[in-house]
Amino acid sequence: MPPKILLLEDRPTDAELVKVELIWGGITADLQRVDSQEAYEAALETFSPDIILSDFNVPGFSGLAALEIRNQKAPGTPFIFVTGSLGEELAVSTLRSGATDFVLKDRMARLPAAVTAAMESFARRGERDRMNLELLSERNLMQAVLDAAQAMIIVLDDSGHIMHINAAAERITHLPRATLVGMKFWDAMSQSEQVDTIRHEIHAALDLRHETPQRSWPMITPTERKIICSSSALAHDHRGERLVVCGIDITEQERAEQHAFFLGHFDPVTNLPNRMHFVQQLGEYCKQRAADATTVLVVMMIGVERVQDIGDSYGDAAINQVLTEVVQRLRVWQSHADLLARVADNSFALAFEVGRGPDLDMLAPHILEQLREQVSVGDSQWVLPVVHAGISLYPDNASEAGPLLKAAESALHCAPTDTDQIYAFYSPLLSDQIRERLLLESELREALKTDDQLILHYQPQVDIATGRTVGLEALVRWRHPRLDWLSPARFIPQAEACGLMVPLGRWVMRSACRQLSLWKAQGLSAPTVSVNLSAGQFSGPSLIDDVDTTLREFSVEPSLLELELTESASMRDPELSISIMEQLRGMGIKIAIDDFGTGYSNLSYLKRFPVDRLKLDQAFVRDIMTDADDLAISRAIVAMALQLRLEVVAEGVETREQLRMLANAGCRTVQGYLYSRPVAAEHCLPFMQTPFPIY
C-alpha cells in the first residue's frame, strides 16, 4: 500500500516538483496537498498521513506552527521541512522541536532519500514502541540519533568523552570510529585555538542537562569544516550516556554564499571591486571622511583604449597583461582597499585624497603618464597603453557616491585620447554634451528609418594617365533636421559607440546599389562604386545574405560593387577574413583594403587575402612632399602592391606635386580634392562622361 504523504505547500508548482522528485526516487505515494491551517488540521484527522512534508513559510500559517500541531495531534509522525532557505540556528531549532529532517528546494534530489529514511525511522520507532521498558535508554539514544539522521551525532559521557558517533562524524573528522571513541570531544572535534571555548560549552551543557538548555554554537573542525552544534541531554543514563551533540555542516553553504557575494561585488578577472561595490564603499568613505577644506576627495575614472587592437596583434593574453599592469600601477594611488575598482571592461575607477590647487593639477597627469609607460607583452614585444581619464571631486561636483562616479564618467567620455591633455575635469557643461550625444544617437536611429535625411555623396577615383573616372567611393552625409549638414566625422563615431554601424553600413550598401540601378536605367555606364564595411558588418553572420539580397533586389552586376575593409578589421581574425573574402570574390564582388599602412599588418596574411586593391591612407599622402618617411612608406606600399599584382588607390591627393610624386612611385589611381570633393549623385554625371584634365 503506498504511503500517505501530507504536503503543506501554497505553491502548486512546488507541489508538482515534490511529486516528480518522489517518483524519480522510486516512491509512489498517496499525496494530499493543503495550504491552510484548517485544511492541515482536518487532514491530520481524516487522512492520517504516514509522513508530513511542509514548506517553512506558508502565507498565514508557518511551518513551525504546523510542527507544533503535529506534536500535539500526531506525535511521532515524521515531519520534513521542504523549503527554500533555512538559517543555521533555525535549522538546529527545528530539529530540536521535533522535525525529522529538512530539504532545501535547490537540493530536491535528496528528498526521496530523506522521505525513505524518515519512513524507515517511523517504522523502526513503531517496533521499538512494542519493546519493554528495559530498552528505554536504548530507545532514547536511537531516537536522538534518528531525529538528526543527516547531521553529525556524537554521544558523550559526563566527563565529555565520546561514547558513540555516527557516520557523518567520521566523514567530517576524517577519523575512524575506533579512534574517536574515548577521546575528549573538544580534542577530537575542534581546532586547537577553540579547545577551551568548546570545553566550556560542553561542561555548561552537562551542568544544565536536566533543564535541557537551548544552546547552539559554531565550531571549526581540524578538517576546516564549519559545524553548527547543539546539545540534547538524555533522560536516562544508566550506561553513562549523558549528552547528545548534534552538528550541521554548513561549510559548503557558507562557501556558496561567499562565492555569490564575490560574484556580485567583485570582478573575477582582476579581483577588484566591481562598480556596485565601489559605489557602496565610496559612499561609506564619504560619510566617514572628516570635513577638511585643505583636501579634496578625487574620483578618477580611467579608460584604456585600443585594447582590441592589442588583442588582434598579440593575442588575448596580451590584453590581460596590459590590464593587469594598469591595475598594479593604479594600486600605488588607492587610499583604501575598496577604492580601486574595475567598473567596465576597459575602465577603472580610483578614489584618493589630495591637497587642493597645484597638487591636484600636477597629480592627474603624473598618474596617467605612469599608466602610459610601455608594457611587455612577450619576448622583446612592448606596447604603450592608450589611456585617458575623467575626474570629479567630492563634495564640489556631487555629495553622493553614485552621482560622483557618473560625473567622472561624463568627464571620461569628453576627455581626448590623442592630445597631451588626456584628462578632463567634470563640469555641468559636460552633462550637456552627454545629453547631446544621447539625443544624436536617438536621432540617428530615426534617420535610418526615413528616406530624406541620410544621403550618399560620391568621390571619383581617377586614372592618372587618362583622366578617366574608374571608380566612385560612396560616402554618407546626414542632412540633420536640427543641425543641418553633418559630416561623417560628427556621427560615425557615435554610430560605432552605440552599435548602429551595421544598420548604417547596410543602408549605405543598399543606397549605392539603388543609385547604380538608376544610372543603368538612364543608359549611363557607371564605374565601380566602393562601399565601406565596418568591422562588425564584415564579420557579422548576415553579410553574405545582405549583399546577395541587395544585388538581386536592384539588379546590379556584382562587378560594379567594391567592398572596402580597414586593415585593422581584416586582421582581427585573418582566417575568418579570408573565408569571407573568398565568398564575396566568388560572387564577383571586388575587395579593397582601406587605410592601408595605419593598422597592424601581417604580410604573410596579406599575400593570402583575395583582394583587388589597396588604398594608401591620406596620412602618408598629406606630407609626401615634405616628409621623407611618408615618401618612403608610400613608395614601399606601391612597390609591394605591384609585386602582389594589386592596384593601389592613393587617397587625399590635393596638389599636382603630390600627384606627380605618386605617379613617379608607380601609383596609377588617385582620389582627392585635386579632382573633386565628394558630391551628390546628380553632380557625378560630368566626370562620368568626360575625363578630367591630365596633369
Contact 520, 526 (CB under 8 A): yes
Peptide bond into 527 cis (omega under 30): no
Asked if residue 149 has pLDDT above 60, the reply is no
Q: For position 293, what pLDDT does the model report?
A: 65
Q: For position 684, what pLDDT does the model report?
A: 94
Q: For position 497, what pLDDT does the model report?
A: 64
Asked if residue 440 has pLDDT above 60, the reply is yes
Sign of CA dihedral 293, 294, 297, 298: positive
Q: For the stretch 183-217, what's the b/e string if a residue is b when 16 or more beta carbons lie within 10 angstroms of its beta carbon?
A: ebbbebbbeeebeeebbebbeebbeebeeeeeebb
Asked if residue 459 has pLDDT above 90, the reply is yes
Q: For the whole prediction, is pTM greater than 0.85?
A: no
Q: For position 597, what pLDDT does the model report?
A: 64
Q: For position 119, what pLDDT does the model report?
A: 86
Q: With bands split at pLDDT 50, 70 and 90, how would you rate the model's confidence at 617? A: confident
Please report, rounded to a whole number, the percentage of residues in the chain having pLDDT higher than 90: 23
| 237: phi then psi, degrees, rounded to nearest 5 | -135, 45
- Tell me the per-residue pLDDT of 633-691, one tens digit each, with 9 for 90 and over: 889 888 888 888 889 999 999 999 999 999 998 999 999 999 999 999 999 999 999 99
Please report, rounded to a whole number, the percentage of residues in the chain having pLDDT higher than 70: 88
Q: Per mean pLDDT, which range of 176-180, 216-220, 686-690 is the poorest?
A: 216-220
Q: For position 633, what pLDDT does the model report?
A: 86
Q: With bands split at pLDDT 50, 70 and 90, how would you rate the model's confidence at 235? A: low
Contact 118, 80 (CB under 8 A): yes
- Tell me the per-residue pLDDT of 404-438, one tens digit each, with 9 for 90 and over: 888 888 888 777 654 556 788 877 655 555 666 66
DSSP calls for 288-336: HSPP-TTEEEEEEEEEEE-HHHHHHHH-HHHHHHHHHHHHHHHHTT-SS
Asked if residue 572 has pLDDT above 80, the reply is no
Asked if residue 175 has pLDDT above 80, the reply is yes
Grid look-up 577519523 returns: 175
Amino acid at residue number 293: A
Q: Is 435 or 513 the better-scoring residue by pLDDT?
A: 513
- Tell me the per-residue pLDDT of 100-115, one tens digit each, with 9 for 90 and over: 888 888 888 889 998 8
Asked if residue 266 has pLDDT above 90, the reply is no
Q: With bands split at pLDDT 50, 70 and 90, how would you rate the model's confidence at 47? A: very high
For 24-31, the CB contacts below 8 A with 24+ separation are 24/112, 25/111, 25/112, 25/113, 25/115, 25/116, 26/112, 27/3, 27/112, 27/115, 27/116, 28/2, 29/2, 29/3, 29/4, 29/5, 30/2, 30/3, 30/4, 30/5, 31/5, 31/7
Q: For position 147, what pLDDT does the model report?
A: 44
Query: Going along 174-225, which residue ranges are E strands?
Result: 216-220
Q: For the stretch 254-285, what's the b/e string if a residue is b when 16 or more beta carbons lie within 10 angstroms of its beta carbon?
A: eeeeeeeeeeebbbeebebbbbebbbebbeeb
Q: For position 189, what pLDDT does the model report?
A: 85
Q: Give the chain's mean pLDDT.
A: 83
Mean pLDDT of the region 550-573: 86
Strands 295-305 and 669-670: unpaired
Q: Per mean pLDDT, which range of 82-96, 341-355, 407-421 is the poorest?
A: 407-421
Domains of the chain, start order: 4-129 (3.40.50.2300), 140-254 (3.30.450.20), 266-426 (3.30.70.270), 455-474+499-689 (3.20.20.450)
Q: With bands split at pLDDT 50, 70 and 90, how would you rate the model's confidence at 56? A: confident
Asked if residue 600 has pLDDT above 60, the reply is no
Asked if residue 595 has pLDDT above 90, the reply is no
Asked if residue 566 has pLDDT above 60, the reply is yes
Q: For position 131, what pLDDT does the model report?
A: 62
Mean pLDDT of the region 136-161: 68
| 86: phi then psi, degrees, rounded to nearest 5 | -155, 115
Q: For position 599, what pLDDT does the model report?
A: 55
Q: For position 290, what pLDDT does the model report?
A: 62
Find the distance separating the first CA and the last CA of the chain, reported in whole Å: 105
Asked if residue 286 has pLDDT above 90, the reply is no
> Edge-to-edge strand order for the sheet containing 347-355?
340-344, 347-355, 295-305, 386-394, 423-425
